[in-house]
Amino acid sequence: MPAVLADQSDLSLKWLLPKPTTGKEEIKIINRSNKDILLEGWQIDDIDGGSKPIALSGVIKAGGSLVIEPSAPMFNNAGDRLRLIKDGIVQEEIEYDQADVGMYWYKDEVDRWCWLDSQKLEDGPLCPAASPTPTAIPTPIPTAYIYPYAACLDLKIIKIYPSPQKGQQEMVMIYNPHQFEVDLSGYQIDDEPGHGRPIDLVGSIKANGVKEVILAKSILNNSGDQARLLCLSRVIDGLVYDRVDKGYLLVRDKTDKLCMLPYPFWRTDYQDIDCSVKNDLALLSYKQSPPVKPKSRSQPKSRGQVLASSVALLPKPQPFKVYNRPQGEPIKKATGLNTWLNLNLATVLIWRLVRQVLKQ
């Protein structure tokens, strides 16, 4: 089955050399149209999340071609993909399995792919009918556009696993509320500011999908911390918690309520979680700054809060002094023993005064 092109009159992939005998890998693209094509905005890339895309430049004349040699190895010999991209949208995508040394993955005149050696590499030959063909890739629709990281779109942290059991790792789950795929280049996961280097994110999140991030290093404190989502050093979203029990998740549901749930809920669909059933945490609006109040020893700790997008760091409660008598409270009159002593003292003073008068 031929690879699908968004526009058959535009650029097209012609062949790929993923495992050269000597020298560098090669990619050939051709201009099928009857006009020159400016290459601004065009890229060559392998599988999503693999090597860094190669930006194309210059002009391909009408009916002409361009051979590209990546400066560093880009393709896997055991199988990979080759994608032709325009302004973030995949225009053509092909896939191969096992690459042999010096063999070209070649597209013939009827858009059928097969392996050819360099001596048979010329315009016109048809691939054998029995040759395996790659899986067709549907033409992307405009809503599948992958926005560049510079946009720093709003994403949400919906689950964190800061206190994993033995043999597990800390994890963070991110939700994409948009109707398009979002590239995670430029996004990072971090804990409380100043506690270490943020962890860079890779790949992308599908429209209305989630991304499971397994942290390569432990950054979340079990007794209380922050899990923040950054983009270009700006806070996009976050969760603040005092403590999370071992083997439990801090979860935010679709109404921004928070609750603590056991680890098996990690795989539960975001839309199916309702924290109002287990309402044991502070309920705060996503856009509302959480109030800061001193915590009394007699009151249980609030285990989680939603970090507003405008708040980079929540201030910690300041210690307060305890006085013997609250200011402004009147002094109480003496009673009991104090009253009896005061009366005796008054009696002695009056008797001394009487004796002094009688002597005169």
Kindly report, residue by residue over 143-163, the tens digit of the pLDDT.
334 444 446 888 999 999 998
140, 175, 204: which is the final residue of a domain? 140
Q: Are residues 79 and 58 in the same domain?
A: yes
Task: Write the DSSP string, 257-313.
Answer: -EEEEEGGGGGS-GGG--TTTT--S----TTSPPP--PPPTTSPPP-EEEEPTT-S-
Q: What is the pTM assigned to this prediction?
A: 0.42
Q: Is residue 272 part of a domain?
A: yes
What is the rounded distance in angstroms from the CA atom of residue 222 to the CA atom of residue 244? 6
pLDDT digits (tens, 9 = 90+) for 6-20: 454 578 898 899 999
Same domain, 155 and 73: no
Residue 248 lies in a domain: yes
Give yes or no: residues 52 and 20 share one domain: yes
Residues 301 and 156 in one domain: yes
Is residue 58 domain-shared with residue 82, that is, in the same domain? yes
Contact 4, 137 (CB under 8 A): yes
Is residue 69 located within the same domain as residue 158? no
Which pLDDT value is given to residue 327? Answer: 47
Domain's final residue, options 140, 161, 193: 140
Instruction: Quote the CA–CA distance of 360 and 357 in Å, as a whole number.
Output: 5
Residue 351 lies in a domain: no
Q: Is the pLDDT of residue 294 over 80?
A: no
Q: Are residues 49 and 161 in the same domain?
A: no
In a domain, 204, yes or no: yes
Domain span at 214:
149-307
- Tell me how far apart the alpha carbons of residues 176 and 188 are, in angstroms, rounded to a whole number: 15
Is position 357 within any domain?
A: no
- We report the CATH number of the domain holding residue 35 as 2.60.40
In a shared domain, residues 165 and 299 = yes
Query: How much is the pLDDT for 187?
Result: 92
Q: DSSP letter at 126?
A: P
Model pLDDT for residues 94-146, shown as the tens digit of each residue: 888 888 898 989 888 888 888 888 777 765 667 776 545 555 555 443 433 44
Do 125 and 214 fall within a single domain?
Answer: no
Tell me, what's the pLDDT at 140?
A: 46
Residue 358's pLDDT band (cuts 50, 70, 90): confident
Mean predicted lDDT score pLDDT of the chain:
76
Indicate the pairing of strand 204-205 with strand 210-214: unpaired
Helix (H/G/I), strand (E/B), else coil: 15: strand
Which stretches does DSSP call E strand in 53-102? 54-55, 59-60, 65-68, 80-86, 89-96
Q: Is residue 260 pLDDT above 60, yes or no? A: yes
Shared-domain flag, residues 131 and 155: no
Based on the domain organization, do 126 and 53 belong to the same domain? yes
What does the block give as tokens for 73? 């190895």
Q: Is residue 340 part of a domain?
A: no
Contacts of 344 (CB under 8 A, 6+ apart): none
**Number of domains composing the chain:** 2
Residue 275 and residue 171 share a domain: yes
Contact 155, 105 (CB under 8 A): no
